[in-house]
Amino acid sequence: MTANRAFRQIAVCAAGLILFCVICRFTVFNSYTAVIPLPPQREESIGQNDVSVKVESPEVLTHGALAVGDGYLKIPIEPGHSGESFVSVYDARGEGVSNSFFKVGPLGTVFDYSTGGFTGDSAVLIAVPLFWFIVCAIMLWHFFRSRGPALYSYATIYYAGFSLFSLMIGLVTAYASVRHMMNPKDYPMLMTYDVIKSASWHFMYLTSPLVAVFAAAMILSNLALLRHEKPRIRNVLGILISLLLIGGELLGWFLFTRDRSGSETMMRVVDTFQNTYATVFVYFECMLTGAIICGIRAVKHQPERDKDFIVILGCWFRKDGSLPPLLRGRVDRAIAFWNQQKEENGKEAILIPSGGQGRNETMPEAEAMRRYLIEQGIADHLIRPEDQSANTYQNMEFSGKIVREINPEGKVVFATTNYHVFRSGVWAGLAGLPAEGIGSRTKWWFWPNAFMRETIGLLQNRWKQEILFLVLLAAFFGMLSMIL
């Protein structure tokens, strides 16, 4: 619901800014002033009275008093009938200084094909960066309002990741807009179009130092992991992700910095390919960033100690029934929360150890945890094992049934390992169990690689939706490359 609300707010923002541009166009910007750069060799030789202007089609447009600036000419253009016309500037000797091509639209809008400017372009230059800043504010507002069970959702990943994207694009387009309005001679509208259509590339460029630092940290943590674990695919995931990020950045640099030549159509095709590639890369970069931010926030989140149930997510245990450090950490974290809550308000929560019996396991995971809980002093009547689940979703689904049987209005917290908190919360929401999470600590060298697995798992769960959104995003920026 919050995602739909955010989308509606962004749509209203876009509609409002479009209306702002339309109103400005027909109330403030009724004419267009062409800024024509002078050839370098003619800048000092042309004065106010040394030039004349000839309009090829006076019925299409007329011009006002010409002004000579520092290396440029300013020519006010007044629209007439719809059509196209050349506007030529000559010096006192009748030699051509410039030749610009203009088009007048049905509503009297003047389009300058030489510089890319048009009537009311200043309003658009204000609206575009303002739109991105407002989108950033909307996403941040929804992100920080996502508390409790609402924190664990795909929407918060989008809010966290794409708020950064919106902020960066807002800053880049604001920079381009200010440069054009302050110096239209050296920074024409065509250059601002390049900034807008290559927004994804600018994001890649600005965030490349952060990507490099992140990749280096991931590789170091993964190398430390390999000193303690076997070199399996799941244990080198951090290295693989880091190499993909670095390789993606290098490929982007190669695509956008190499010299290009060819026809206008070929150049547009190349631009479209480049910007589509950058959009795809940035999309996954933002999703990864959002998942990391949400994962860290989920781990640091401290639920209120007013819970009726504590669900403990199971995992592998030893053949003798004892708990290995990973599973013991989850149960100890649940016990610590239970004790703290009892000390603060005397409330004794029901503990639900959750996990079925896997292959090569001597008993259900829930039973192994139940025995450990009793050893730690928890009364047996406060433990309701859930021993049928085979994965995290079923942990939440089957535990939810127990919760509803005892107290449908009961408040729930679940305990798992820190890297698993956010994804488990997402599964809880999908299973219809409103719950908050608490995480047990694990080794520093284990956490990053494990969290990468969780992030990939999150994206894999919604691969159809992710591909659809990615295709729409890439199509949008690809379209900009073809029309601008």
Residues 6+ apart with CB under 8 A from 103: 83, 84, 110, 111, 113
| Six-digit token string for 256 | 């956008």
93, 185, 230 from 48: Cα distances, Å: 14, 17, 79
SS3 102: strand
pLDDT in tens, 320-372: 889 999 999 999 999 999 999 999 999 999 999 999 998 888 899 999 999 99
Q: Give bridge partners of residue 311 from the DSSP assignment.
A: 352, 414
Examine the fold and report which residue of 74, 90, 112 is the final residue of a domain before the chain moves on.
112
Q: From CA 313, how far away is CA 387, in angstroms rounded?
A: 11
Residue 231: predicted pLDDT? 83
Examine the fold and report which residue of 74, 94, 112 is the final residue of a domain before the chain moves on.
112
Q: From CA 122, how far away is CA 29, in angstroms rounded?
A: 9
Residue 2: predicted pLDDT? 65
Looking at the fold, whether 219 and 137 belong to one and the same domain comes out as yes
pLDDT in tens, 66-82: 887 777 788 899 999 99
Looking at the fold, whether 397 and 428 belong to one and the same domain comes out as yes
In a domain, 1, yes or no: no
pLDDT in tens, 183-232: 888 888 988 888 888 888 889 999 999 999 999 999 999 999 998 888 88
Q: What is the pTM of this model?
A: 0.86
Number of domains in the chain: 3
Residue 257: predicted pLDDT? 82
Looking at the fold, whether 276 and 134 belong to one and the same domain comes out as yes
Residue 232: predicted pLDDT? 84
Looking at the fold, whether 58 and 146 belong to one and the same domain comes out as no
How many C-beta atoms surround the C-beta of residue 340 within 10 A? Answer: 11
Residue type, 97: V
Q: From CA 442, how far away is CA 445, in angstroms rounded?
A: 8
Q: From CA 246, how far away is CA 212, in angstroms rounded?
A: 7
Looking at the fold, whether 392 and 315 belong to one and the same domain comes out as yes
Residue 319: predicted pLDDT? 87
Looking at the fold, whether 407 and 471 belong to one and the same domain comes out as no
Looking at the fold, whether 278 and 354 belong to one and the same domain comes out as no
In a domain, 5, yes or no: no
| Six-digit token string for 180 | 């054009």
User: Edge-to-edge strands of the sheet including 412-417?
Assistant: 350-354, 309-313, 412-417, 435-440
Q: From CA 76, how far away is CA 390, in angstroms rounded?
A: 74
Question: DSSP code of 57?
Answer: -
How many residues are present in the chain? 484
- The domain in which residue 252 lies consists of 121-294+464-483
Comparing 415 with 52, the larger pLDDT belongs to 415
Beta carbons of 318 and 362 less than 8 angstroms apart: no
In a domain, 412, yes or no: yes
Looking at the fold, whether 177 and 285 belong to one and the same domain comes out as yes
Here the CATH number for the domain that contains residue 40 is 2.60.40
Looking at the fold, whether 405 and 261 belong to one and the same domain comes out as no
| Six-digit token string for 453 | 């697995």
Strands 72-79 and 32-37: antiparallel
In a domain, 9, yes or no: no
In a domain, 13, yes or no: no
Looking at the fold, whether 242 and 339 belong to one and the same domain comes out as no
Looking at the fold, whether 428 and 357 belong to one and the same domain comes out as yes
Q: From CA 245, how far away is CA 100, in angstroms rounded?
A: 45
Residues 6+ apart with CB under 8 A from 172: 195, 199, 202, 203, 206
Residue 65: predicted pLDDT? 83
CA angle 135, 137, 140 (to 5 degrees): 110
Looking at the fold, whether 273 and 350 belong to one and the same domain comes out as no
Examine the fold and report which residue of 112, 137, 154 is the final residue of a domain before the chain moves on.
112
